[in-house]
Amino acid sequence: MSNIKISMVILVKNEEDIIKENILFHSKMGVDSFVVMDNNSTDNTKNILQELQKEIKLTIIDETGPYQQSKFMTKIAKIAKKKYKPDWIINSDADEFWMPQKHSSLKEALKNIKGSVLSIPRTNMALYKGLNNWKDNIYRVANPICRMEGFKNRYFLGKIGNKTIINPTGYIKTNSGNHSAEHLFFWQKKEFKDIVIFHFPVRSFEHFEANIKNRYKLLKMGMKMGAQYKKWTKHYEKGVLKESYEDMFLEKSELDVLEKCFVIKKDDRLLNLFKKFNIY
Kindly tell me if the per-residue pLDDT of 254 is higher than 80. Answer: yes
Q: What is the mean pLDDT of residues 9-22?
A: 96
Q: What is the pLDDT of residues 144-189, one digit of tens each?
A: 987 666 666 788 998 899 999 999 999 999 998 899 999 999 999 9
* C-alpha span between 82 and 251 (Å, rounded): 49
Mean pLDDT calculated for residue range 88-97: 97
**Any residues with CB less than 8 A from the CB of 279 and at least 6 apart, and which?**
20, 21, 24, 25, 28
The answer as to whether 268 is a domain residue is: no
Q: Are residues 39 and 94 in the same domain?
A: yes
Q: How confident is the model at residue 228 (pLDDT cuts 50, 70, 90)?
A: confident
Please check whether residue 127 lies inside any domain of the structure. no
What's the domain range around 238?
A: 206-247
- Identify which of 154, 172, 156, 174 has the alpha carbon closest to the alpha carbon of residue 164: 174
Is residue 187 domain-resident?
yes
Are residues 229 and 168 both part of a single domain? Answer: no
| DSSP secondary structure letter of residue 89 | E
Average pLDDT over residues 8-21: 96
Mean pLDDT of the chain: 93
Do 111 and 210 lie in one domain? The reply is no
Give yes or no: residues 167 and 216 share one domain: no
Amino acid at 129: K
pLDDT of residue 122: 96
What is the Cα–Cα distance from 241 to 234, expressed in whole angstroms?
A: 9
| Of the candidate ranges 171-175, 216-220, 275-279, the one whose mean pLDDT is the lowest | 216-220
Query: Is residue 240 in a domain?
Result: yes
pLDDT, position 124: 96
Residue 265 included in any domain: no
What CA–CA distance (Å, rounded) separates 92 from 177?
A: 10
Is there a single domain that holds both residue 225 and residue 167? Answer: no
C-alpha to C-alpha distance for 36 and 39, rounded to whole angstroms:
10
Q: How many CA atoms lie within 13 A of 146 on its CB side?
A: 0
Q: Judge residue 132's burial from the number of C-beta atoms within 10 Å of its C-beta, 0-12 exposed, 13-18 middle, 19 or more buried.
A: exposed
My answer on whether 176 and 221 are in the same domain is: no
Domain for residue 133, yes or no?
A: no
Q: Chain centroid to CA 52: how far? A: 19
- Within 10 A of 37 (CB to CB), how many other CB atoms are there? 19
Q: Is the pLDDT of residue 224 over 90?
A: no
- The CATH number covering residue 16 comes to 3.90.550.10
Same domain, 24 and 88: yes
Query: Distance of CA 54 to CAs 51, 171, 259, Å?
Result: 6, 30, 43
Q: Yes or no: say if 62 and 38 are a contact pair by the CB < 8 Å rule.
A: yes
130 lies in some domain: no
Using CB atoms within 10 A of its CB, is residue 238 exposed (0-12), middle (13-18) or buried (19+)? exposed
Q: Is residue 264 part of a domain?
A: no
State whether 74 and 94 are in the same domain. yes
Do residue 239 and residue 102 come from a single domain? no
> What's the domain count of the chain?
2
Q: What is the average per-residue pLDDT within 199-216?
A: 91
